[in-house]
Structure 1
Amino acid sequence: MSQQMSQHFDAIVIGTGQGGGPLAVKLAESGRRTAVIERHLFGGTCVNVGCTPTKTYVASARAAHVARHAGDYGVIVEGEVRVDLARVKARKDGVIAESREGMEKWLRNTPGVAVFNGHGRFTGPHSISVTGADGHQQALDADAIFINTGTRATVPEVDGLAGVSHLTNSTILELTELPEHLAIVGGSYIALEFAQMFRRFGSRVTVLVRGDRVLAREDKDFAVQVQKVLSREGVEFLFNTEASKLEPAGKGIRITLKDQTQDQASIEASHLLFATGRTPNTDDLGLEQAGIALNKHGLIDVDGRLRTRTEGVWALGDVNGRGAFTHTSYNDYEIIASNVVDGEARSVDSRIMCYAVFVDPPFARVGMSETEIRKDGRRALIATMPMSRVGRARERGETDGFMKVLVDAETKKILGAGMLGIEADEAIHTFIDIMNADAPYTRLQRAMHIHPTVSELIPTLLGMLEPLK
């Protein structure tokens, strides 16, 4: 086959996730001729198998939950509340399609952007080969290349895995019939969100947790409260256990448990979901051709400006280990765009981490946890308040959870905050904003908030600070 002529661009973006798509447009609008490569679905993880579909499922699950408890509010709902998973899926597919098609249309209609469908691999530090679904290859090169290839679900090696059907966070979204009994391996964010939503849909749910509690990276008090809420709704938990062997059992799966301290050596389920983390999509990019080595986690190391070790190559989104959320990916785009296009000098090193777990009620956190502050050994102030003190929570009949804030005793700056409760995923931004403003907690404590809201109790919470013992 003859040597193919390479098409030259000013910039190449590999992947159209929440950072890659906007970056391609920003680069093109700045006058840079830009190529964007997408091998599968436009919009990345968030749009297709992450935030967008799961939060539509969370909304359906909450609607079912509220309907079942309508009588508590004096509202009469006649008959059994049932969930039609096929209709839930259809609604989800519609929401996804709107976002996915919007991203693709935006890219294709932006002057200066050339879209290539296929798998991109480095053939040199600044050259890429794109292989289409039909095997046709195209050669591209650019002075600047941006990697935004995201992650995929991790499925651990378990004896018998090949002989049984199993689900990931992606494939479970394609079910049209409710599982009779859903077993979930994992105890973190994805596992808990799916556990609650499918329990509310009507499935029996059992969660297999390797450690002695869920949300192992969070403060124990928050983790215990989340577990209590889900247990009260009927989610079953098995702790200190792992799936050691899988085999068919009737129409379902028999899962042999590794830890024999449990009352039972095995369980049977109709469906099995692995929610055990994410694997970076970096293993088939030909990064060695660009002089880029992966770290032990399969991630691409970057500096504060998200530059890799190879000049002219950046990595943004889940593949760089600087955050694994849609909002961190988008912020990566903003930082790169500011530095490359606008001539600024922004760094990810100054970013204050924040995120939420979208169980109901949601758990949200910013900055350092109490556990991290105690380990750090610094002098701090702490305050906690149960959500039962919040008027909005009482009025809505949803008083589960509490809020916690920690402050540096010397600087009076907020070190971190966590909230588990109604609208915590919104109210946490009160803390996020004051921390990013680098203002003392007193600025927030003395602010006047609107009644009746969740945020109005945050100044009261700050008035309860006392030394961390």
Structure 2
Amino acid sequence: MYTTLHVVPLTLFIAPKRFFVKQIIRTMSTHYDAIIIGSGQGGTPLSMAFAQAKYKTALIESSHVGGCCINEGCTPTKTLIASGRVAYLTRRGPQYGVFANAGADATTNDVQVNMEIVRKRKRDIVDSFRSGSERRLREAGVELIMGTASFKDERTLQVRGLDGPEKSLTADRIFVCSGERPAIPKIDGFDAASFPPDAILDSSSIQELGVVPSHLVVIGGGYIGLEFGQLFRRLGAAVTIIQRGNQLLPREDAEVAEIMHKVLEEDGIRILLKAAPTAIHPHTSSQDPATKVSVSVSVSGQNGQSELQASHVLFAAGRMPNTENLNLGAAGIESTARGHIVTDTQLRTTNSRVWALGDVKGGPAFTHISYDDFRLLRTNLLEEGNNTTADRLVPYVVYTDPQLGHVGLHEHEAREKFPDRKIQVASMPMSYVARALETDESRGLMKAVVDAESKQILGFTCLGIEGGEIMSLVEMAMIGGVKWTALSNAIWAHPSLAESLNNIWSFLK
């Protein structure tokens, strides 16, 4: 441990002994080779890599090890979604000739959902993942400091411990991986404290519900809103999604968004496009408590003003970076108007001693991007590499059912980026896929975007059963520079979802 003791003015030696001791303690700082702020999917492995390379390393975490992915994001939400799919398939059993009880009426589709069990299963898996991360940090020799950090200057952090005094830490290199959190939209007169407990939710708090909402209003028609909306519809809630734009999933091509819209409406979800909440307030009428109405949502939409009565409201209209308490200015670190840290293509900030990785720097907010940021920094700083973020291929999956998997450019992006190229597009319904028909999971479509001259694949979307896995096959081809003709001519096992990659290219236009 390297400890720096700053010079104490001579006048302090004539002060009372107690004051002198306090000043010495206050001015002590511990020095590290590397400090990482935030234990997400980039910060945790980065701290381990530095520690295993024999650098003195500290990892500062303000709440719980593992970051958003393990604690509020990928792991818990996909665990809950699995429960939702079981409920969905249980209701569909009679369509497959399978009944819950011998002699049951084929028209019966009621299922019982125990949210306490659903929640416990989620908690248990999160706990196991979190404890595994903590164990690996210890084994790697990382010093884990629980507390909140802020910059004092370009290389010094002040850390307020969760269970101890403030510490002053210095480092040769500092890495910010503090992530993002749910954003609450600004609505005139809205005060979350005036509502019953758990009535107003975000993407974290909704996962702790012990009951199924009677009516869940979801504000936001992006990835998070759709996943939770479909999940709770399958668990038995009435669901309404309010989307400000003219389509769900604003980043997707219009035809993909339209099919997703149709899928969710088939599942019984009400969708309001070009609509926005103008007021949210506690429900005050004297209706029967059995209706479980606790929130009134005023909505301005295409057909004027309307009022929704709900048991719960989920804010799913965006996220904001965790940077407001970092005192970035003291370290000479620039940020955007939204608070994201500005970095170059090698993730260095405007302070040459500081790098940022993961969601906190803006850009695609996916766990696998945060992990790739870690790999870039490990390569460049520990292995003398020269990697950059330029032109990296970005895949993602929306875990609705069917899944939406995408990689590369959307059609509208390809046409904007390459106005002088001939772009070809192939769209094929999932109802043309034998395996999808055999499993009675034929909703959705596959869409490919290619360069007509080079035959290179520019982008691919699969909204369909196991869409993320099909997308990953095409991603491998794109990584290897494999032309679409090779996929078209490949021998794929039959019957499999992959063999659809023989057929989609016949739809190229």
Q: TM-score, normalised by structure 2?
A: 0.89
SS of residue paired to 2:27: coil
Report deviation, 1:465. Answer: 2.5
Identity, % of aligned positions: 40
SS of residue paired to 2:401: coil
Counterpart position of 1:327: 368
Partner Cα distance (2:502, 2:32) in 1: 53
Counterpart position of 1:181: 215
1:129 partnered with 2:152: no
Counterpart position of 2:237: 203
Q: How does 1:221-260 map to 2 (within 5 A)?
A: 221-250=255-284, 251-259=293-301
Q: How does 1:38-187 map to 2 (within 5 A)?
A: 38-78=61-101, 80-111=110-141, 113-134=142-163, 136-162=165-191, 163-164=194-195, 165-187=199-221
Mean CA deviation greater in 328-337 or 242-251: 242-251
Amino acid across the alignment from 2:83: S
1:344 partnered with 2:385: yes
Partner Cα distance (1:9, 1:455) in 2: 50
Report deviation, 1:191. Answer: 0.4
1:381 partnered with 2:424: yes
Partner Cα distance (1:258, 1:384) in 2: 35
Partner Cα distance (2:506, 2:381) in 1: 44
**Alignment gaps of 5+ in structure 1:** none
Counterpart position of 1:427: 470
User: Which consecutive aligned stretches of 4+ in structure 1 deviate over 6 angstroms post-superposition?
Assistant: none
Report deviation, 1:462. Answer: 2.5
Contact 1:219 1:370 in 2 (8 A): yes
Contact 2:91 2:111 in 1 (8 A): yes
Partner Cα distance (2:145, 2:387) in 1: 30
Partner Cα distance (1:322, 1:160) in 2: 32
Larger Rg: 2
SS of residue paired to 1:255: strand
Report deviation, 1:260. Answer: 6.3
Partner Cα distance (1:260, 1:445) in 2: 44
Contact 2:334 2:349 in 1 (8 A): no
Partner Cα distance (2:506, 2:274) in 1: 40
1:356 partnered with 2:397: yes
Amino acid across the alignment from 2:119: K
1:367 partnered with 2:411: no
Partner Cα distance (1:321, 1:247) in 2: 32
Q: 1:441 is matched with which residue: 480, 484, 495?
A: 484
Amino acid across the alignment from 2:81: V
Counterpart position of 2:59: 36
Mean CA deviation greater in 130-139 or 400-409: 130-139
Partner Cα distance (1:326, 1:367) in 2: 17
Mean CA deviation greater in 445-454 or 345-354: 445-454
Counterpart position of 2:354: 313
Q: How does 1:296-307 map to 2 (within 5 A)?
A: 296-307=337-348
Partner Cα distance (1:291, 1:365) in 2: 37
Partner Cα distance (2:277, 2:62) in 1: 33
SS of residue paired to 1:266: strand
Report deviation, 1:354. Answer: 1.4
Partner Cα distance (1:26, 1:70) in 2: 49
Report deviation, 1:184. Answer: 0.7
Mean CA deviation greater in 160-169 or 426-435: 160-169
Counterpart position of 1:459: 502
SS of residue paired to 1:356: strand
Q: 1:272 is matched with which residue: 301, 304, 313?
A: 313
SS of residue paired to 2:200: coil
Amino acid across the alignment from 2:385: E
Contact 2:36 2:60 in 1 (8 A): yes
Contact 2:274 2:302 in 1 (8 A): no
Contact 1:379 1:409 in 2 (8 A): yes
Counterpart position of 1:390: 433
CA offset digits 1:254-299 (Å, max 9, x no partner): 111123624x621110111100110000111111111002112211
Counterpart position of 2:19: none
Partner Cα distance (1:134, 1:429) in 2: 44
Amino acid across the alignment from 2:112: R
Amino acid across the alignment from 2:349: T
Report deviation, 1:447. Answer: 2.6
Partner Cα distance (1:335, 1:383) in 2: 34
Report deviation, 1:463. Answer: 4.2
Partner Cα distance (2:162, 2:472) in 1: 43
Report deviation, 1:388. Answer: 1.1
Amino acid across the alignment from 2:133: M
CA offset digits 1:86-126 (Å, max 9, x no partner): 11001000010011111112112322x11111001111111
Partner Cα distance (1:241, 1:463) in 2: 39
Contact 2:272 2:301 in 1 (8 A): no
Partner Cα distance (2:121, 2:267) in 1: 25
SS of residue paired to 1:393: helix
Contact 1:306 1:315 in 2 (8 A): yes
SS of residue paired to 1:359: coil
Amino acid across the alignment from 1:41: H
